[in-house]
Chains A and B, each alone.
Chain A
């Protein structure tokens, strides 16, 4: 059960990422090779701000503590003494930080749209890849952000689910203790994964609606023929900018969810491999349609988990099996590009109503 929940959570996070890349690349034709930067922006926002914002509520004065060294203690004390008893506040923190992560992601997307509108694909690819690496480098070396080499801990906003300290008043029954506590860890895992999956599904439906709307057709028009779109009075630059901002806000959202799930944010976690993984998912499933993104994400994660399981049978392997999985993924990606470049589920023309 724990395994299924973990899988579902990762699926949710990566689903949002592949939808976001699909909007940018699949629908609009912006090759975003810096996805990890926007994903990281969301995660860094949650990591850098959650503890700091909540610390005054539990009586910790940040001005005379060394946040870099003590952030784990601060996060723990916020979880234990504040969030565990307060489910509503916990959820408010969770949703508020997700929104903030998405906003920050969107802002960085807006900044990135400056080169994205002006540069040719090859130069844009180089710019985004190296920009992502530079942000990781700064996050790793600049302590005030996410505590550099130490990494930062995030308070557990799901702690209340299995907390016996959470009580509430029910009319006629008086004070009732948390009924979920008897069910133990499993229920907590299920609820967590359920929340994540619900968010991902909402994003998916939202993207589906958006891409089948006139705006979605505009994106395709810009991708397929910029000159024609411009001749019809469409603002190509603005359209590309909006697509990038939407995609980046989604990536920021996914990053925030990731931070709340893993409870630690560490700069070394945000390498370009993540960008690559999302590209594999989108190309595998088929760019330019959200069903393809969902299928590609699923297939990728199943293969990845499969390789991780095989690992158990070879405990003596002298190297990290992840590398083997990257080689397989690289080969798979190249084969798809050669033999089935439209992906497993090719793009279909958009639905429209005949009048």
Chain B
């Protein structure tokens, strides 16, 4: 059976954004080893930054990514400095950090609700009107497809270069790999973690910015996305950027293509059950390969490599 091109395009746009979000969640998970429940709300901040700049400064949404990146990044950084770092320094256990992250989540979501009400926003946020078709080599493509793909590639490449080719990036990887060893070598682990949280927030902000192109967003949108971000990151193994990208695309395609197939005959399911797909994926991953794609493969690969060398 052939998939209509719209479904494919939709899946690609969605997967681009989901990959960015999964990378960000993985980045924060790598530092404090806590699943950040507030992560989805950073994407919601991106949505409202996009709305604000577009409505009040008439800025075209495609020019807003830097602002969304910085705003959501700063919020993420603030949550790290004000909440997570003090708790981490007090040697709080993981459950405490998780409770704190739920507290941050509820507070952030409430603030966004208050912000939306204060703007008098009764309606949902939509930027669909900016999604003009672009003609490339005889193909009519929605501009948001190109924008998200380019943004994702740019961000992933810059992140890769930053982590692998700069001194700070190397320090960051070292601090994530082994914070104690890194700190004895003079790396400021706290500073490195702070940068991680800022970058993670920034990625969520940019991904959030593009959400209102395809869905009409509310202050709850980011929270509703969290399940999918978890599914994508856990599938990726929660331990590598590469895994997160892979997890994002697999989850995104499984969700969009899956609900397209399920909502057609013979099943005719309501599309409202769409979140059940990433949830099912999440459960299957936990049951079958709890280390995720990269978690399982990397270890085998290392062993094979070691065996080959030694």
Contact = CB atoms under 8 A, between A and B. Distances in A.
A125 B35 contact: yes
Given A127-B286, A333-B103, A134 B276 contact: yes
Contacts of A331: 103, 107
Given A122-B33, A318-B118, A330-B106, A130 B100 contact: no
Contacts of B107: 326-327, 330-331
Contact of B230 (A33, A130, A319, A334): A130
Interface stretch (B6-14, B153-161, B267-275, B298-306): B267-275
A139 to B, nearest CB: 11
Contacts of B231: 130
A122 B35 contact: yes
A342 to B, nearest CB: 11
A341 B102 contact: no
B95 A329 contact: no
Contact of A121 (B37, B95, B100, B226): B95
Contacts of B90: 338, 341
B96 A341 contact: yes
B104 interface: yes
B270 to A, nearest CB: 6
B75 interface: no
A223 to B, nearest CB: 11
B284 interface: no
Q: Name the prevailing secondary structure of the B interface residues.
A: helix
A331 B92 CA distance: 17
Nearest to A279: B99
Which of A122, A141, A273 is the most central at the interface, judged by chain B CB atoms within 10 Å of its CB? A122
B170 interface: no
Which of A279, A318, A326 is the most central at the interface, judged by chain B CB atoms within 10 Å of its CB? A326
Interface in B93-146: 94-96, 98-100, 102-104, 106-107, 109-111, 113-114, 117-118, 120
Contacts of A333: 99-100, 103
A127 B283 contact: yes
22 contacts: A33-B98, A119-B286, A119-B290, A121-B98, A122-B94, A122-B98, A123-B286, A125-B37, A130-B227, A130-B279, A131-B279, A133-B227, A133-B275, A141-B270, A275-B102, A279-B102, A318-B118, A319-B113, A334-B87, A337-B87, A337-B92, A337-B100
Given A122-B34, A137-B276, A341-B90, 9 more contacts: A125-B98, A134-B227, A279-B102, A319-B113, A319-B118, A327-B107, A327-B110, A331-B103, A341-B92
Interface of B: 33-35, 37, 83, 86-87, 90, 92, 94-96, 98-100, 102-104, 106-107, 109-111, 113-114, 117-118, 120, 224, 226-227, 230-231, 234, 270, 272-273, 275-276, 279, 282-283, 286, 290
Interface of A: 25, 31, 33, 115, 119, 121-123, 125-127, 129-131, 133-134, 137-138, 140-141, 272-273, 275-276, 279-280, 283, 318-320, 322-324, 326-327, 329-331, 333-334, 337-338, 341
